[in-house]
Structure 1
């Protein structure tokens, strides 16, 4: 991106950005960090890299239940506990 803005030529292809309209939406503004962490976890744990299809807006929107958010909270707490 830097090279394209400065006019420098690069041997790499330009990135292709896609908006995934079916991504989960947080109900309020206090759980944003957990939603981002859960979304990143879903992408990382997807062996087929099919998250683009999973979050396609043509399908029903993905909803993160409280159990899924709590799973991320527990993983974070366990990680922090190991670091202390």
Structure 2
């Protein structure tokens, strides 16, 4: 994948292996990740909850949760763990003890079937990173939007993923 967005240094990624169990280690790791580099970057955190991938985007004091399932689902334990980590970071960084606002982006494009959630999460990250205007929240906020990601777009992500993996072989 060739990224032509000049703002890529404004992005950070959180290890999905760290978010698998929402314990104190998760919160400590997230706080440490915020401390690396610019804490105001947009953080992508793919999260697997019960064999389903979602994307958490932490940006500008807000947490955005993008779920590729067509039905609405909430993640209260994840919300609490992220809130605790953000508050802990804010206190340590001298930013007060403000909790983040948590928003479910209900109009984000959905997976076309029942097994594409991981590829959709990668597609979300690519779309957001390539958007110079950073309009993903506005673009995907409509609650009654019934858009699915096209098969061709998913195939492109699949091929890019395979190409990346092959580069290590």
- Say which of 114, 117, 122 aligns to 1:29: 114
Q: What is the aligned residue count?
A: 81
- The structure carrying a bigger helix percent of its residues is 1
The gaps in structure 1 that reach 5 residues or longer are: none
Matched, 1:71 2:153: no
Matched, 1:2 2:84: yes
- Relative contact order higher in (CA < 8 Å, ≥ 6 apart): 1
CA contact (8 A) 1:55 1:61 kept: no
The gaps in structure 2 that reach 5 residues or longer are: 1-82
Under a length normalisation based on structure 2, what TM-score does the superposition of the two structures give?
0.42
State the superposition RMSD in angstroms: 2.3
Runs of 4+ displaced beyond 6 Å: none
- Say which of 79, 90, 100 aligns to 1:15: 100
Q: Distance in 2 between matches of 1:63 and 1:31?
A: 11
User: Paired residue for 2:128?
Assistant: 43
Larger Rg: 1
